[in-house]
Structure 1
Amino acid sequence: MSRVPTALWKNLIAVQVYGANTGVGKTVFSTLLGSHFSRKIAKTKWDLRYIKPVSTGPIDEADDGYFSRYTGANADTLFQFKKAVSPHVAARDSGRIPSDNDIVQKLYSKLSEIATRRCSQENSIGLAIVETAGGVLSPGPSGVPQADLFRPLRMPVVLVGDHRLGGIASTISATESLILRGYDIAGVVCFDDKGKYENSNYLRNYFEEREIAAFEIPWIPDLSDCTTETEIEKMRAYYLEESDSDGLHNIAGQLIDQHATRLENLSKMAKKTSESIWHPFTQHKNRKSSDEILVFDSAYGDYFQTKHTAQSNGGSKGNTNNAILYPAFDGSASWWTQGLGHGNPKLALAAAYAAGRYGHVMFAGATNEPAVALAQRLLQGLENPRLARCFYTDDGSTAAEVGIKMALRASCKRYGWDGSSTEVGILGLKGSYHGDTIGAMDASEPCTYNKKVDWYRGRGHWFDFPTVKMRQGQWIVEPSAGMEQVFGETSRYRTLDDVFEFEKRRQNPRYREYITEQLNTLVKEQGKAFGALVMEPIILGAGGMLFVDPLFQRTFVEIVREYDFVESTAHPKDPKAWSGLPVVFDEVFTGLYRLGRFSSASFLETHPDISIHAKLLTGGLLPLSATLASESIFEAFLSNEVADALLHGHSYTAHPIGCHVGNVSLKAMEELSHSYAWQDYLKDWQGEVASTFDQPHVETPKKTTKKCIWSMWSQRTANEISYHPLVDHVIAIGSVLVVSLKDDHGSGYTSKAALGLRDALLRDRIGQNIHIHSRVLGNTIYLMASMTSAPSDLATIESAFMDQLKAMVDGS
């Protein structure tokens, strides 16, 4: 779904009328409500409009004409189909099927026009009644249920209950369907059927117990013996009299009060947050005003619905109609978790099912179906013959913590160390980071995140490495600063595929020499003990989006597995057992399709002994993580002593709601990986061509049949950004786009080079009415797509990003 704001204005109440079923009297209720407010027009500056987004059947029988006849107010139908059948059939038979986005955009534009007109009149307020067709889950023209079709606008809903036999069940079901999709229900109304089925009485009691407002409205007159003229006369009298009933007064008051409360809550939320919330990764002393806090009303697809502030306008001309909210692209994928779009109804339904089936059940010495299914899905998807066991935890940091604990125990047991008295460290890469728990922090070198944490010790040694980046249209492998003599000169490649051609690139003897010499110094000369190799495959996330040369990582794993960390200790003969040191891959960021593949380890064509996963595991809906280990790691904890077991766990370990959502999420992402959209991304990058190849050390390995490495961000955009005078380099792989800006004062987490671009993207300083929420890591700014991002949306984001970069050069 393309970007569209939630329908909320200060001076316009836009309410959506849904029906529990077809034929329940939606249009009659809409007309009663309109008639009620038309009485107010004579006394106040109310303006009344009726909108039917989709209508089927003859034009002379359309609901907009009916509404206008009895209220005198303006009414519009946006998409009219002649055939009196379900919209998906009528649209198909008409030969023109508007997209969901077309319908939502047109409806928003119509509402925006009304709000703009209200803006020009002082103390004026409007009511827009938007009436749907059929029931809550009746299909729209594309076949998508209406509740999903209109969800991006998130208008408050009045649900017209079903007064007929069986209507209690359909009304409750319709209400729950709306709640599952994040709608605010202003009220459920049901016609008083004069005691025939008493649905109204039951529904009022049922919903009031659940704190949902419910109202009874006057019964519709019997029109069975009426001519056209007498029917009009009878209904005109009905609307005149009953629009002033208590039920209409109450529902009208509810709409007004709910609108005012929503506006008030949004206006005060930032101040309340500033007074009571301790934000993560925030130096609160630098916050000048609570206006700097982003207020999210909701989120849908790739976009946050964010409250306008004086700062957020920032030169944008898109808020001329007094809109309260604007859509901001979730450019960090909500801290790397977002995979299937915010407000995904499939995931919401999956969570509700598991919550209803289980709630939460303990996992120690027990099991549940979703947990077993997810473990098997992960083991199968990773295609790692070493892995055999799955241990569940809560988030990436705790998953890393338990993975490190597993590895250290295995090493200490094999090598006869007592880890409580012997200092046992880990091997890793400079700039790596594995989470914020104390143990995970200790597996990273000192940095901004951890060096002032009082218990931090930094237990290990971290290696320099060459990095991969695109600079001026070429993919290069560049030595880290000052390491040219160790790693060799910068190498250039035609495509990113060529960087991963390990056989063509051959073994790099300098890599092997550097790693082996470092290990000899640490182990044989200094006598240090190490219990694990812990790495983030391909990209180091929190450390600054550093793309490690995959050949270096692959070589590192090979040498660690061959190396004798303790003399006279034989390596195991079982090829699935760990040797040298257990290899731990932290795929919390890079795994589960973030880089376009189920496992980022597959890029290295090597298999870890322990694999850590979180973030995308539940598609961005719930916290859950998994640490998968080989049987040889598992066996290190087997003994007759309870104390030798892995005494680690959490209250919500393997919670069935998260596991069930995880199964649904991974299945959906697997289907997406075979979609036409992903094939188009692949084709775009298969045609990747660098701009110049006449330099003496450009390596040009022959193409092979290996699967192309690609990105959801276009090759053309990545290439163009890489030439920008402010840009040092670009990385594009999978859903990740990384842009590192030049900084004369040095790169790294403390750099402020990217802050101006981040703020410009969010505040829309060049007036395009495109807002992009992004995160920075020092001089690096990055954007992430979700797995369901529309190519057209990403193209819009790319264009806005380029324009903001250009504006920085122009000084605007």
Structure 2
Amino acid sequence: MPPPVGSLLWRSLRAYQIYGANTEVGKTVFTTILCKAAAEFWKPEKTTYLKPVSTGPLNEADDYHIGRFTSDVSPHTLFQYDLAVSPHIAAGVSNKFVPSDESLLSKIHAFASERAAQGPGWLFVETAGGVHSPGPMGNTQADMYMPLRLPVVLIGDSKLGGISQTISSYESLKMRGYDVEAVMLFQEDKYQNYLYLTDYFAERHGIPVKSLAAPPERQESIILDRSHMQDYYEVACTDTTTREILEHLDTRHQQRILRLESMAEAAHKQIWYPFTQQKHLPADKITVIDSARGDYFQTLSPAPGAESGQALLNPSFDGSASWWTQGLGHADPQLTLAAAYAAGRYGHVMFAEAVHEPALALAEKLLKGMNNPRLTRVFFSDNGSTGAEVAVKMALRAARLRYGWDTSSKLGILGLKGSYHGDTIGAMDCAEPGTFNEKVEWYEGKGHWLDYPTVVCRDGEWVVELPADLREHLGNGGQKFETLSHVFNVKHREDRGESQKYEAYIVETLKKLQQKGHRFGALMLEPVVLGAGGMMLVDPLFQRTLVSVVRQHPELFGTAECTASEGDETTWTGLPVIFDEVFTGLYRLGRFSAASFLGVHPDISVHAKLLTGGLVPLCTTLASESIFEAFESDDKSDALLHGHSYTAHAVGCQVAIESVGEMQKMDARGDWAWAKKASSTPGAKLTEGEGVWSVWSNEFVDFVSQRQSVDGIWALGSVLAIHMRSEDGAAGYKSNAARDLQAALLRGVEEEGTKWNVHSRVLGNVLYLMTGQKTSEESVRKVQSLLSRALKA
């Protein structure tokens, strides 16, 4: 497996990509001028030309043209196909090797790395055709070359219609995160496109536009034609315009490096970081991210040094999926286009008593995808914490009205220890006292949080283990299971009577709380996995039983008759049940909704993170009609008085439609079949639980579970959590047991001349990693290999 591709940036190798606004705009002519002038003006530095993919006869190839008219330039082509058509057609009908996009990028990176090692100079990489001309595999060049993040010289179109074509090409590149550093085109007297484009780009974008005289007309005599072109190049490469462009490109190159290398120190002085004790964060430990694409950041090398041949940027696998948000990968063009469309059509429009298509379409998509007969309404907010607060407001009102409590009644939340629902004050009050809130002056934990059994793989066995308090109540040390699928076969386990002890413990606890005068307004759970609380995989049977007990025993919470009609699956009973799926929902664990693992339907469900694939903030709180009706009144003050200026932000809604829709298509197409196969158990025949799978292979999980330094591991969907043993006895968020493993991943490895590492986060003694939903099997196996080496050390 080749290493991941890094961006092309070296200290003294000025590398630029030449894009054309169209075919036949003079891209090769301008590249020849730039190469010839750079070789002349920057002697004795070396100037190199690279054509990744070329089509047509060899004697008409662009590298042949460069070599014919320059004497000090080194021209190269990586893949040459004989037919003079689009690369995807030429490659398809040839008998030659057709590289994948990843293979092509790796070869470009290897070529540029070798060139950088030879000393300072210039590298010009010329594309084929226009911005969106396809590469060998059919993907457009604008998308295909994105990981290289080369700054661009755009060759404009001087012909009729060229103004529109040039601006459209620029916008396509800009929308994909390219830095267009200059525009060049011919001076065409008839259309004078260069005059309009010079003003347009200078005024709107601050980009220089330089124009040169068009080359001479083609001559029938080959000798005469070459002579005229030679004379043209001699004049063009000494033109002050050409010199100005090269000096501009040189300056921009140096400015980019200077800015990158000064960012950490500037950030250290000016930025206040989240979840960070900055007293222990020196500037040299701040990660400088130049760009991101797919699963990887491009990060500044921690010790760039002064050597011109040392790459300044290295690929870093985004091991936290950028704090749990990435679904389709960084800089996904599909999501970017959706955002641009909504921004161009709406910008932001106020949402109170109004509607727009993105909001309505998203509401419909989510309600249908949840397949929950209770949920009928969608409330929009901007992040998971506020979405959780909205859910609590909904539930408390419904419970107060149902049980006839007055507004002075103090209502609490029933939940699990270690729960985390966000950092706003109301969301913090829904969690027990702990590291995240114990020193927050306004914190008032309102509720009761139960202990619970957890699931880990230890020494090759899946174990449901009980904390000390539960062992006293349940009288055993837990259970062992052959596979994780058996753990999640909750209906089968329930039928075998495994839930009875759970039920007795829960009922006993709730009775004691009632006797003490506690009043609860909601049961609030993170289904299956408690995220920030320590990546705890909860026994799904326990959560299923907890929901059932709450719904079947309304007498434990109030005195009114609160049972639903027989067969009614839409009206809440006992307490409104809130599922916080901000982390676990929308395919993070392999399914649209994590609630499906438990086989129960919540009355309120909160969704964010993967909702927009990490592109923009957005949250939705879904509720049942019986919850909604609690706010219906003739008095406006009885309404749900909650909102944000950016409620139902059109850009976020449109991106969410694309993000959720694409993941649904991936599921339907079987895009995760490789992962399901790798995590399946041969011969296992279950009536339920077949949907329990992980991108992390069974063999890898088994290997890690048997390391002496590992206390337990679990993997589900895209998430992997490794619980490390703590030598000093410290536990939870304050432990440093996972720091050494995190440091080993950050050191990374060098493969085939490319350094890469894994950027990860820890929660005390837990190191967790997660992929995006589009992460390839190859990438997962590479990360597994690096982890395995680190754990062997």
**Letter of the structure 2 residue corresponding to residue 540 of structure 1:** L
Tell me the distance in 2 between the aligned counterparts of 1:491 and 1:748: 23
Tell me the distance in 1 between the aligned counterparts of 2:670 and 2:547: 36
Is the 8 Å Cα contact of residues 587 and 599 (structure 1) preserved in structure 2? yes
* Alignment pair present for 1:55 and 2:54: yes
Instruction: From 499, 516, 519, give the equivalent of 2:510.
Output: 519
Match of residue 451 from structure 1: 438
* Alignment pair present for 1:128 and 2:123: yes
Instruction: From 730, 739, 743, give the equivalent of 1:746.
Output: 730
Tell me the distance in 2 between the aligned counterparts of 1:673 and 1:240: 59
Q: CA RMSD in A?
A: 1.7
Q: How many residues align?
A: 779
Any idea what SS the aligned residue of 1:590 has? coil
Match of residue 706 from structure 2: 723
Match of residue 284 from structure 2: 291
**Letter of the structure 2 residue corresponding to residue 746 of structure 1:** A
**Letter of the structure 2 residue corresponding to residue 792 of structure 1:** E
Q: How far did residue 215 of structure 1 move?
A: 2.4
Tell me the distance in 2 between the aligned counterparts of 1:217 and 1:572: 77
Is the 8 Å Cα contact of residues 12 and 308 (structure 2) preserved in structure 1? no
Aligned residue runs from structure 1 range 170-569, under 5 A: 170-193=165-188, 195-287=189-281, 289-310=282-303, 321-419=309-407, 421-487=408-474, 488-506=476-494, 507=497, 508-523=499-514, 525-563=515-553, 564=555, 565-569=557-561
Instruction: From 759, 782, 786, give the equivalent of 2:772.
Output: 786
Q: How far did residue 769 of structure 1 move?
A: 2.9
**Letter of the structure 2 residue corresponding to residue 221 of structure 1:** P
Any idea what SS the aligned residue of 1:770 has? strand
Tell me the distance in 2 between the aligned counterparts of 1:243 and 1:702: 73
Any idea what SS the aligned residue of 1:669 has? helix
**Letter of the structure 1 residue corresponding to residue 677 of structure 2:** K
Task: Tell me which moved more, 755-764 or 142-151.
Answer: 755-764
Tell me the distance in 2 between the aligned counterparts of 1:575 and 1:302: 41
Any idea what SS the aligned residue of 1:218 has? strand
- C-alpha distance after superposition, 1:506-539 (max 9, x if no partner): 242210111000000001x101100000000000
Tell me the distance in 2 between the aligned counterparts of 1:323 and 1:805: 28
Q: How far did residue 462 of structure 1 move?
A: 0.2
Task: Tell me which moved more, 511-520 or 674-683.
Answer: 674-683
Aligned residue runs from structure 1 range 620-699, under 5 A: 620-687=614-681
Aligned residue runs from structure 1 range 767-778, under 5 A: 769-778=755-764
* Alignment pair present for 1:24 and 2:22: no
Instruction: From 713, 723, 731, give the equivalent of 2:696.
Output: 713
Q: How far did residue 41 of structure 1 move?
A: 3.8
Tell me the distance in 1 between the aligned counterparts of 2:260 and 2:452: 48
**Letter of the structure 1 residue corresponding to residue 5 of structure 2:** V
Tell me the distance in 1 between the aligned counterparts of 2:204 and 2:211: 20
Tell me the distance in 2 between the aligned counterparts of 1:628 and 1:496: 29
Match of residue 77 from structure 1: 77
**Letter of the structure 2 residue corresponding to residue 494 of structure 1:** E
Tell me the distance in 2 between the aligned counterparts of 1:647 and 1:97: 60
Match of residue 108 from structure 1: 109
Task: Tell me which moved more, 132-141 or 671-680.
Answer: 671-680
Give the fraction of aligned pairs with identical amino acids, expressed as a percent. Answer: 50
Structure 2, unmatched stretches of 5+, are none
TM-score by length of 1: 0.94
Is the 8 Å Cα contact of residues 25 and 157 (structure 2) preserved in structure 1? yes
- C-alpha distance after superposition, 1:21-52 (max 9, x if no partner): 0110000000111111121244xx32100000
Match of residue 154 from structure 1: 149
Tell me the distance in 2 between the aligned counterparts of 1:434 and 1:679: 32
**Letter of the structure 1 residue corresponding to residue 697 of structure 2:** S
Tell me the distance in 1 between the aligned counterparts of 2:108 and 2:51: 9
Q: How far did residue 251 of structure 1 move?
A: 1.3
Match of residue 91 from structure 2: 91
Tell me the distance in 1 between the aligned counterparts of 2:201 and 2:3: 35
Is the 8 Å Cα contact of residues 2 and 101 (structure 1) preserved in structure 2? no
- C-alpha distance after superposition, 1:621-671 (max 9, x if no partner): 000000000000000001111110000000000010000000011111111
Match of residue 759 from structure 1: 743
Q: How far did residue 705 of structure 1 move?
A: 5.8
**Letter of the structure 2 residue corresponding to residue 384 of structure 1:** N
Any idea what SS the aligned residue of 1:381 has? helix
- C-alpha distance after superposition, 1:168-227 (max 9, x if no partner): 11111100000010000011111111x111111111111112124232332233333341
Tell me the distance in 2 between the aligned counterparts of 1:241 and 1:479: 82
Any idea what SS the aligned residue of 1:483 has? helix
Tell me the distance in 2 between the aligned counterparts of 1:619 and 1:133: 31
Structure 1, unmatched stretches of 5+, are 119-124, 314-318, 690-700, 808-812
* Alignment pair present for 1:164 and 2:159: yes
Tell me the distance in 2 between the aligned counterparts of 1:591 and 1:327: 28
Is the 8 Å Cα contact of residues 185 and 212 (structure 1) preserved in structure 2? no
Tell me the distance in 1 between the aligned counterparts of 2:308 and 2:245: 30
- The 3 A distance-change label for structure 1 pair 482 and 577 is closer
Is the 8 Å Cα contact of residues 53 and 107 (structure 1) preserved in structure 2? yes
TM-score by length of 2: 0.96
Structure 1 runs, 4 residues or longer, greater than 4 Å off: 765-768
- C-alpha distance after superposition, 1:590-618 (max 9, x if no partner): 00000010000000010000000000000
Match of residue 783 from structure 2: 797
Q: How far did residue 567 of structure 1 move?
A: 2.4
Q: How far did residue 560 of structure 1 move?
A: 0.4
* Alignment pair present for 1:592 and 2:586: yes
Is the 8 Å Cα contact of residues 432 and 543 (structure 1) preserved in structure 2? yes
Q: How far did residue 702 of structure 1 move?
A: 6.0
- C-alpha distance after superposition, 1:101-140 (max 9, x if no partner): 111000011010011111xxxxxx2100100000000000
Any idea what SS the aligned residue of 1:17 has? strand
**Letter of the structure 2 residue corresponding to residue 391 of structure 1:** F
Is the 8 Å Cα contact of residues 154 and 182 (structure 2) preserved in structure 1? yes
- C-alpha distance after superposition, 1:233-280 (max 9, x if no partner): 111111111112132122112211110110111011111111111100
Any idea what SS the aligned residue of 1:673 has? helix
**Letter of the structure 2 residue corresponding to residue 32 of structure 1:** I
Match of residue 11 from structure 1: 12
Tell me the distance in 2 between the aligned counterparts of 1:65 and 1:373: 54
- C-alpha distance after superposition, 1:709-767 (max 9, x if no partner): 10011111111111111111111000001111111313211110001111121122788
**Letter of the structure 2 residue corresponding to residue 51 of structure 1:** L
Tell me the distance in 2 between the aligned counterparts of 1:37 and 1:221: 19
Q: How far did residue 498 of structure 1 move?
A: 0.6
Tell me the distance in 1 between the aligned counterparts of 2:592 and 2:208: 47
Is the 8 Å Cα contact of residues 523 and 575 (structure 2) preserved in structure 1? yes
Tell me the distance in 2 between the aligned counterparts of 1:369 and 1:759: 47
Instruction: From 601, 604, 607, give the equivalent of 2:601.
Output: 607
Match of residue 138 from structure 2: 143
Is the 8 Å Cα contact of residues 577 and 604 (structure 2) preserved in structure 1? yes
Tell me the distance in 2 between the aligned counterparts of 1:726 and 1:601: 33
Q: How far did residue 776 of structure 1 move?
A: 0.3
Instruction: From 581, 600, 606, give the equivalent of 2:575.
Output: 581
